[in-house]
A = this chain, B = another copy of it.
């Protein structure tokens, strides 16, 4: 039955399904640990078929990271309406949960992007810009933060701070050394942007 189901999927759907599996595998692995062999084994299909879908290891990694970035952007979308601060906190909460759930892959993306891999850097910057731009487009009336050059710079700094806080907190949590609760972390991140803008 499984084989029959598989064969009925259109190539795009099949590729998409494989990318989802790649993203799940990346959650608990660095990019260098994510191979086409591993994906083939987990998907129960041949390496040859995977090369047919992804071409080579570089293209495979790029496709998985793009899918992961799209997932991050989708999962951190704020709820459609309500109080601006509550919407920001909802988005921040989703971001923290995403990073914690996909820790290995996320940290390896940051390292790859910072270390000179041009493709990873580009995907990383695009995702970061999308998240930053959303702060302003989701708040078009400027209830929480007005769209000014100063505040664009502030949001960029706040994004870097948020990433550092979550990655550090996540590392501490994984080794059992966290003395800061998840709620405290969320309060620091969610409360800091209005504080930074309000100065």
Taking beta carbons and an 8 Å cutoff, which residues of A are in contact with B? 110-111, 114-116, 149-150, 153-154, 156-165, 168-169, 179-180, 184-185, 187-188, 191-192, 195-196, 198-199
Contact = CB atoms under 8 A, between A and B. Distances in A.
- Copies per complex of this chain: 2
Main secondary structure of the interface of A (DSSP, over half): helix
B199 A195 contact: yes
A115 B168 CA distance: 17
Contact of A168 (B110, B153, B196): B153
A184 to B, nearest CB: 6
A157 B160 CA distance: 8
A196 B153 CA distance: 17
10 contacts: A153-B165, A153-B169, A153-B188, A154-B165, A156-B164, A157-B162, A157-B164, A158-B161, A160-B165, A195-B198
